[in-house]
Amino acid sequence: MSTTMTDPDPVSFADARELLVDLVSIPSPSGQERDAAERLAAFFEAHDREVRIDEVGNVRAPADDSVLLTSHIDTVPGEIPVEVESADEADEEDDIADEGTGVLWGRGSVDATGPLAAMAAAAVRTGVSFVGVVGEETNSRGARHLVADREEPDAVVNGEPSGATGITLGYRGFLSGTYVATSESGHTSRPEPNAIQHATSWWTSVEEAFEQDEYQPVFERVTTKPVAIDGGITDDGLSVEATLDVQLRVPPTLDVETVRETAEAPLEIGTVTWADPIPPVMESPRTEVARAFRAAIREEDGEPRLLRKTGTSDMNLFAGAWDCPMATYGPGNSELDHAPDERLSLAEFDRSVAVLTRVATTLTGGDD
């Protein structure tokens, strides 16, 4: 596979932090990533890197494809005042602050602007390829476009919070659908079920079909969740309509198609329209990517942790399209994803930049 060789550039931890704070300070909820994308592109331009914003809004800085570093630009909605809190100001019980360097508060500091900025710094430091993708929090349109529009790299590191010592190798898959039913209107004293009852009956059957032992790890279960419901008598008074939006998470032991068929089996009345599925992924801990992370974390005085996450990320799409080793990594406590108190230790951010630099150097065959 062809690669574009790019000379590394000595990005300091101060440079990386400046990028981080700037990006967190720019609101970038899904669909509104343009300003943040332009700031990210300007960072690469300032370090003499080829960069462009593609037709869907991804920031693409092609270089050495021995490894592709990629994370998402978008965040969930929610305004959190951006503040760099010193270690002295931080609550003594706040275990996010460490080593006297303070904490950055703001939406996206953890999910996933922290990983995004760390990867951008490491990509410039080592001369490897980088992409900041859009839409991960909604439909992953950036990642879907990327896998259809470029060649497979030799390896992928996806950016999501794992903590500076965590290496995420597994995610569950994702299946979402919308159930719709219509019934004739009638007096509520009639015994025949209406569309709302049909919707709730179907979903109860789905939940029962996937009911599992409570002692089984969540990662290994199919979990079912209704996320929105709407129903009632139509404006003309002649019908009752019901719409139910649902989501199912799929463990790597099952495929999405099998789960879809099981969910449809009890369907007798109404229809379900399914969105494009996202397959589950479980990477081996013995790949060169996982080995490089374990070595790099130890070299930065950490103890590596191998993680499996119950959610879903763009790594699922990359693994479904590309047959190359990969892992997910990034600074931040994932328990603060989407939270009103989202914040990131700046010392942890620095360590993640150092780890990513070591990993990219190893995967390109360079000396660290």
The answer to whether residues 239 and 233 touch, using CB atoms and an 8 Å cutoff, is yes
**Tokens linked to 259:** 């789960």
* 47 labelled ligand-binding: no
* 184 labelled ligand-binding: no
Run of H or E including 200? helix 195-209
Please give the Cα distance from 337 to 332 (Å, whole number).
9
> Which residue is listed with tokens 């430091």?
125
Find the helix packing angle between 113-126 and 34-46, rounded to 10°: 20
Can you list the positions of beta strands (E) in the chain? 52-53, 59-61, 64-72, 83-85, 103-105, 128-133, 156-159, 163-171, 173-184, 223-233, 239-250, 271-274, 281-282, 305-309, 326-330, 343-345
* 160 labelled ligand-binding: yes
* 151 labelled ligand-binding: no
Report the catalytic residues: 74, 136
Please give the Cα distance from 362 to 299 (Å, whole number).
12
* 338 labelled ligand-binding: yes
**Tokens linked to 92:** 């003594």
Q: Annotated binding site, which residues?
A: 72, 111, 137, 160, 338
Q: Annotated binding site for Zn(2+), which residues?
A: 72, 111, 137, 160, 338
